[in-house]
Structures are given as structure tokens and as C-alpha cells.
Amino acid sequence: QVQFVESGGGLVQPGGSLRLSCAASGSGLSFYDMGWFRQAPGKEREVVAAISWTGGSTKYTDSVKGRFIISRDNAKRTVYLQMNSLKPEDTAVYYCTRINLATMGPFYDYWGQGTQVTVSS
């Protein structure tokens, strides 16, 4: 089965940038629509961004539009989330997984470890 591993998180000041990476095991990811989700302590997990398997279509939640960019490199079996103009409210654990583009919901019902993003001065 496919396993996704997130990396690239860290501590950044408001207004700063980070790039998250999501790598997949085996032969997965290349033909999957993929998405990034995030969850802050005590809050529901929410979708952040999604990208079609070809990379030709992207979608973003309103709160990150104009600031975040999702991209992918299928040859490297990797999905990225470039986060710019970061705000404290972006602080969360970020997860990647296969996504249903029509519903913006996760394709599977299990999650990886995620990567912590903390935006603070």
C-alpha cells in the first residue's frame, strides 16, 4: 500500500516562507490527485490545497489563496506546498494524501505523521 511522508516544516516568522514536501512509497502518487491538509490542536482537520495528477489543475481553500502554491514532480514522486506570507493562523501539522478533487476530501481514511509548521515571532 502507498505511504506518504511529509517534510519541510519548521519555525518561521510571520511573513516568511516554507516549502513542504510529500514523498510517496512504491509506485503511488504519480497518477493520483493529491492534496495537503492541516490540523491545529483542538481543531478539525481541513483541506488546504489540491492538485490533479497531471498538475494541470489546482484548488485552494480561501484562506491561503494567493499565498500558497501546490505543485508536483511526478518523476520524483513528490508533491510540494510552497507557503508564502505565512500567518500565525497557518500554524498546524500539515499532511498530504490522495484526494478526491470533486469533493476535496481525502481518498483514504488514514494519515501519515505530518510535518509541523509554526508561525510565530
Which tens digits make up the pLDDT trace of 70-107? 999 988 999 999 999 999 999 999 999 999 999 999 99
Cell of residue 72, nine digits: 508536483
pLDDT exceeding 70 applies to what percent of the chain?
99
Question: Which residues are 57's β-sheet partners?
Answer: none
Q: Whole-angstrom Cα distance, residue 25 to residue 5?
A: 8
Q: What is the pLDDT of residue 66?
A: 98
Q: Whole-angstrom Cα distance, residue 106 to residue 99?
A: 4
Q: Whole-angstrom Cα distance, residue 112 to residue 2?
A: 11
Q: What is the pLDDT of residue 28?
A: 73
What average pLDDT score do residues 1-17 get? 94
Q: What is the DSSP letter of 77?
A: T
